[in-house]
Structure 1
Amino acid sequence: MSDWRPQLIVSDLDGTLLRSDETISDGTLAELQRWADAGVPLVLATGRPPRWMLGVRDRLGGGTAICCNGAVLLDLGGFTVLEEHPLTPDVLRAITGELRRRQPDTWFAVEYGDQFRHEPIYKPRWDVDAPGVAEATLPEMVAQPVAKLLARHEHLPRDEFVELVTEVVGDTATVTNSSSDALAEISARGVTKATGLARVAAARGLGPGDVVYFGDMPNDLAAFDWVREGGGRAVAMAHAHPDVLAAATDVTDANDADGVAAFLASLPR
């Protein structure tokens, strides 16, 4: 694949394109611009909801973002939602009810896109005092469709808790994880970064063999599989989760060492 050249660059944000201080280096921006000038755009694929994308939009400008692990496609330039694939109230009630029964100390939050609601006992780690963040009861939260359901446990190990959530959810929804905490991210059945990426690529007349994808956490695995199996490049950051490293076609430097830019610079343009 020495002469392989992507037609679409796709990158996760946290731990991948963004440095630990949530900045994007000037060198990375310059490399991305060189590819854009050559007709190869950047698409973002993130677990972040749209409300967390304003700062990124200000730094990168326009483009498309696959948000909430594939549940929302966002036009960054106009900051408008192009598609939504939410969890429905009946599924939400079934999942939260069974999880609460199996593990009573599970606490919940939901993403509505530009709004975040959490149970009073749930401890948000980010945006605690941001606009759109508020407390709500569980019945209130699951009364309408949501982009993403979050289940958190303060005491169980991450992998043990995510395994429990996956068992409870079964095939009614999709479970992933992108945190070092015992935090499970739950999307509608079949919704992943891969499904969002497939729609974005198809709209451009492209397939997985045209894509280079950068990621670091388990919520990137579905996209890694889609890209790798179709002949594209699935590139793990040096510090990535072991499962991501195992699924990668390539490994690049860590995010704080501008690994995305370093790998792109090694490819023919």
Structure 2
Amino acid sequence: MSDWRPRLIASDMDGTLLRSDDTVSPATVAELERWRADGVPVVLATGRPPRWMHRIRQVLGRGTAVCCNGAVLLDLETFEILEEEALPPAVLADVTEGLRRVRPDTWFAVEYGLEFRHEPVYRPRWDVDAPGVAEAPLEEIVAVPAAKLLARHEDMGRDEFVALVEDVVGDRATVTNSSSDALAEISARGVTKATGLARVAARHGVGPGDVVVFGDMPNDIAAFDWVREGGGRAVAMAHAHPDLLAAATDVTGTNDDDGVAAFLASL
């Protein structure tokens, strides 16, 4: 595949495109601009909600972002939500009741795209006092459709807790994680970064065999599988989660070593 070139570049953000200090290096920005000048779109595929995309918008300026692990498509230039696949209230209520029954000390929060609500007992790690962030009782936060449900446990290990959530949720929704914490990210049934990327690729007339995707955590596995099985390139960062490394076609340097830029330059 030495002469292979992508027709679409997709990248995760945290731990992948972004360095540890939450910035994108000038070298990476220049490399992405070089490809975009050649007509290759750059797509962000992230677990982040749209409300966390303002800073990257200032860096990249335009393009589409697949947010909330595939549930939301965001136009970076206009900051308009193009599409959303939400969890319906009935599923939100059913899943939270089931998890609370098995582990009463599980706490919940919900992403609505541009808004965030969490139970008073849930301890947010970021944006505690940001606009759009507020406390609300569980029955209120699950009463309207949501882009993503977050389930957190303060004492269990990450893998143990995520496995428990997967077992309780079953096929009612999609469970993944992208954190070192015991934090499960729950999306509508069948919604993943792969389904979001597939929708964006179709807008550009591109199939998985023409895509290179970069990532570092388990929430990237579905996108890696979609690209790899279609003949594209699924590139894991050197420090990636072992499960993602097993799904990769290639491995590049770490995010702090500009691994995304280095791999793109090699093409």
**TM-score clears 0.5:** yes
The one-letter code matched in structure 2 to 1:225 is D
CA distance in 2, matches of 1:21, 1:232: 30
User: What does residue 209 of structure 1 align with?
Assistant: 209
Task: Give 1:50's aligned residue.
Answer: 50
Number of equivalenced pairs: 267
Instruction: Output one character per residue of 1:120-167: Cα deviation in whole Å (capped at 9) or x when no partner.
Output: 111111111111111010000000000000000000111010000001
TM norm structure 1: 0.99
Letter in 2 for 1:65: A
Amino acid corresponding to residue 166 of structure 2 in structure 1: T
Partner-residue secondary structure (3-state), 2:184: strand
Q: Which amino acid aligns with 1:160?
A: E
In 2, Cα distance between equivalents of 1:42 and 1:239 = 23
Secondary structure of 2:174's counterpart equals strand
The answer as to 2:187 corresponding to 1:187 is yes
Displaced runs of 4 or more, over 2 A? none
Give unpaired runs (5+ residues) of structure 2. Answer: none
Name the structure 1 match of 2:200.
200
TM-fit CA distance, 1:203? 1.3
Which AA in structure 2 matches 1:211? V
CA distance in 2, matches of 1:266, 1:59: 23
2:172 matches 1:135 = no
Give 2:217's aligned amino acid: M
Q: Which residue matches 1:85?
A: 85
Say which SS state the counterpart of residue 108 (structure 1) adopts: strand
Alpha-carbon displacement from aligned partner over 1:211-257 (angstroms, at most 9, x marks no partner): 00000000000000000000000000000000001110000000011
Q: Aligned letter for 2:96?
A: T
1:22 corresponds in structure 2 to: 22
Residue 165 of structure 2 is aligned to residue 174 of structure 1: no
> 2:176 and 2:137 mapped to 1: Cα distance?
24
Give the distance between the partners of 1:66 and 1:230, measured in 2 at CA: 19
3-state DSSP class of the match of 2:117?
strand
Residue 209 of structure 1 deviates from its aligned partner by 0.3
For the residue of structure 1 that corresponds to 2:14, the secondary structure is coil
Match of 1:145?
145
SS at match of 1:104: coil
Cα distance in 1 for residues equivalent to 2:232 and 2:247:
13
Q: CA deviation at 1:204?
A: 1.0
SS of match in other structure, 1:197: helix
Q: Distance in 1 between matches of 2:199 and 2:113?
A: 19
CA-CA distance at 1:116 after TM superposition:
0.5
Return the TM-score normalized by structure 2.
0.99
Cross-structure match for 1:66: 66
Q: Write out per-residue CA displacement over residues 24-65 of structure 1, whole angstroms, 9 at most, x where no aligned residue.
A: 011001101111111111000000000000111011101000
Amino acid of the structure 2 residue aligned with 1:187: S
* Amino acid of the structure 1 residue aligned with 2:163: E
Q: Tell me the equivalent position of 1:221.
A: 221
- Residue number in structure 2 paired with 1:162: 162
SS at the partner of 2:13? coil
RMSD of aligned residue pairs (Cα, Å): 0.5
CA distance in 2, matches of 1:33, 1:91: 41
| Separation in 1, partners of 2:175, 2:73 | 19
Q: Which amino acid aligns with 2:248?
A: A
Post-superposition Cα deviations, 1:175-196, rounded to whole Å, max 9, x if no partner, equal: 0000000000000000000000
For residues 90-105 of structure 1, the aligned pairs below 5 Å read: 90-105=90-105
Counterpart secondary structure, 1:14: helix
Show the counterpart of 1:2: 2
What is the SS of the residue equivalent to 1:245? helix
